[in-house]
A and B are shown apart, each in its own frame.
Chain A
């Protein structure tokens, strides 16, 4: 069995390294356990509560002493997965905030593990949105036109659309989001060495997701390996651990 708090603390350390290695300084992610049931915990910047998540000032690229004008908002609810062996993100939010007081976002990435269209869902393809989706705050004349064509009487803003991004397994990570902000010139800069930080942690993330995908569908994985010439034997001990528990799937 995995240990929720130990695994969550390892995840918090990764988030701390990613954020301080790219956009901010002196941020520390912490774990708050819930006295459930259910057994769950929150991972967010120090000083947060589930009801009030502290913003992360984006200071990289700013002259010394200049106050931040943009912030990251990020929080995670984590649990052990159904096997009890692996940390899993149950829900997460990360976004770019443009106003510290109102916490008004410009773009957000939401993840709601049980709201996807995954093959192992109780009712696959019956949900209204993808488990992982992007919401962009603004307006689109083109989408307004499309809504009008389809007879919508109450036009929705762009932020009301849940743009699917990869499903449960290969959804964007915080590393992807930070690099998106940088490459699209939405933040003033990143700390020196950011490439190493993002590449290392993103590689770990992708490998972990691939492991989780294999756990979800070992028959397809075995089939592919056999196609490539590998000989795969079924396990003697089905309870043998197969994944690094330091980061959630």
Chain B
């Protein structure tokens, strides 16, 4: 089964909801090295969104 497509804006909002409690912005998170992230929750998320999100211009 295929779900509704995910837009970049929606993905960005979803990521923001996860990283904000860690004091991170989406841009900071995307630009991070995965090994510098403070939790496995963030590692998993970073791997899943890598390549889909880029720092905003």
* A residues adjacent to B (C-beta < 8 A): 5, 8-9, 12, 28, 30-36, 38, 40, 42, 46, 49-53, 73, 75, 77, 90-93, 103-105, 108, 110, 112, 128-129, 137, 159-160
Residue of B whose beta carbon sits closest to that of A50? B48
Q: Would you give the shortest CB distance from A104 to chain B, in whole angstroms? A: 8
Instruction: Flag B1-13 by CB within 8 Å of A: 1 or 0 each.
Output: 1111111100100
* B residues adjacent to A (C-beta < 8 A): 1-8, 11, 14-15, 17-18, 34-35, 40-41, 43-45, 47-52
Please determine whether A50 and B45 come into contact, CB atoms closer than 8 angstroms: yes
Please determine whether B14 and A49 come into contact, CB atoms closer than 8 angstroms: yes
Residues of A within 8 A of B43 (CB): 93, 110
A90→B5 CA distance, assembly (Å): 18
13 extra A-B contacts, CB within 8 A, seeds A35-B5, A51-B18? A33-B5, A34-B52, A40-B52, A46-B1, A49-B6, A49-B14, A50-B14, A51-B11, A51-B49, A77-B50, A92-B47, A105-B40, A112-B34
Of A34, A38, A40, chain B has the most CB atoms within 10 Å of the CB of A34
Majority SS of interface residues in chain B? Answer: helix
A92→B48 CA distance, assembly (Å): 7
Residues of B within 8 A of A75 (CB): 44, 48
The one of B2, B35, B44 in contact with A128, judged by C-beta atoms closer than 8 angstroms, is B35
The one of B1, B7, B15, B44 in contact with A28, judged by C-beta atoms closer than 8 angstroms, is B1
The one of B3, B8, B18, B35 in contact with A32, judged by C-beta atoms closer than 8 angstroms, is B3
A137→B43 CA distance, assembly (Å): 14
The one of A5, A32, A112 in contact with B47, judged by C-beta atoms closer than 8 angstroms, is A112
Please determine whether A34 and B6 come into contact, CB atoms closer than 8 angstroms: yes
